[in-house]
Amino acid sequence: MLGLWVMWCGLPLEAAPARPEFTETIIRSKGSDTLLPIISRWATRYQSETPAVALEASGGGSGNGIAALINGHVELAATSRPLRQHEIKQAVKRAGQHPMLHPVGMDALSIVVHPNNPLHGLSLKQLANIYMRDGKIERWSDLGVQVAGCDEQEILRIGRKNNSGSYFQFREEVMERGQHFHAQLERATSSEAVVQRVANAPCAIGYVGMGFVTSAVKTLCVSKEKGACIPPTAAHTLEKRYPLARYLYLVTLGEPSEAVKKYLNWILGPVGQEMLQKTGFIPMPKGNRGAVLKEQF
């Protein structure tokens, strides 16, 4: 069974591209498209302050980043979800090391619709019935609303591909166990693509990290079965009142090297966390900065 050991090892950070002429250390990261914009900014800033370190950042989804870490292609995997049990087993088998999750910020998986949609919020059960194959909600009229510009009120479902951490979280926390996604689900390649599609389609609904939400879409509040409908604000996310709140992680195999540890410490410091906040995400609570989760099975 999956468990977490919480340890402490103070940490703060910064980041990315144009490799300096004289480089002593290269730190490569890959993974979550949700995290990629801030990781790229961190990399650029950190490298400007620490020219002996070169940073390389790429996306591809949380799953691809974790695979790259396990296979020794990168020093850091960026993920918006915890590791799956089979990923932990692979890491131990191939590298002889347990993955260590370093939380670097918080996020809220936000449910977005077209601005024409008069809906205020949805329950997790209603969301599941929209997105799952055997769901009972096919039209906006099934929810008691009429959306201007949406012919026949048929819902257009926008999601992510299965290598995405957002896809994984939505499947685990919204969908009913054993259920498959709706046959007509459109799978977007990025969070930006989700927002763009929803903004241009009155019938659409989608899910993205809070840092990608723009004024071109409308954000819904979300409720548990008997709870209040909670909007994805910073305060509600920090308090974990919002049902789809989540941590954002950088993952190492075993203890990070000294260079990686310094980079992580910089990320969790004042500069790195301020940059995270300006990107639209939520800084780690000061009392939790430096916490490390050691994934076990």
pLDDT score at 225: 81
Ordered mean pLDDT values, 10 residues apiece, the chain (297 residues): 35 46 82 96 96 94 96 97 94 92 97 98 97 96 98 97 93 90 96 98 98 98 92 95 96 96 97 96 84 58
CA nearest neighbour of 12 among 287, 261, 256, 282: 261
pLDDT score at 23: 58
For residue 214, CA distances in Å to 177, 233, 273, 281 come to 32, 14, 21, 13
pLDDT score at 24: 77
User: Is pTM, for the whole model, over 0.75?
Assistant: yes
pLDDT score at 293: 64
**Bridge partners of 145?**
none
Tokens 């990290």, residue?
209
